[in-house]
Amino acid sequence: MEPSRGVRSPSGLDPGPSTASPAMDHDLFDFLSTLKDPQISKLYRDPAVVQAVFRSLVPLARNLVMRLLYVQATMQEKLVAFWHRDTSEAKAARKEAMLQMKRW
């Protein structure tokens, strides 16, 4: 895939080079973590950006996002633990997914 040059998304931010490398997800979350709240809000007005970020999440994080879409109250992180098995492996995976979601 060729890198995009000078292309701007509808949000007005340069999406940078287009690549299919496995490091892309890591780079995306590194980039998002450098943005200030107003920039994040502007960026997330673009549905394509929201979809790209959602698709870049690990499967467990995507599952948590989908469940949280239908919660109409503030959700405590410890309540999310009841949605998955309570093994040490599941706890580690859930912690990693929650950390990934907190980055953006």
**Which range scores top for mean pLDDT: 10-24, 46-60, 77-91?**
46-60
- 57-102, pLDDT tens digit by residue? 888 888 888 888 887 777 666 666 666 666 677 777 777 777 766 6
Q: Say if CB 43 and CB 35 are below 8 A apart.
A: yes
Q: Say if CB 104 and CB 65 are below 8 A apart.
A: no
pLDDT of residue 48: 94
**By C-alpha distance, which of 88, 44, 86 is closest to 65?**
44
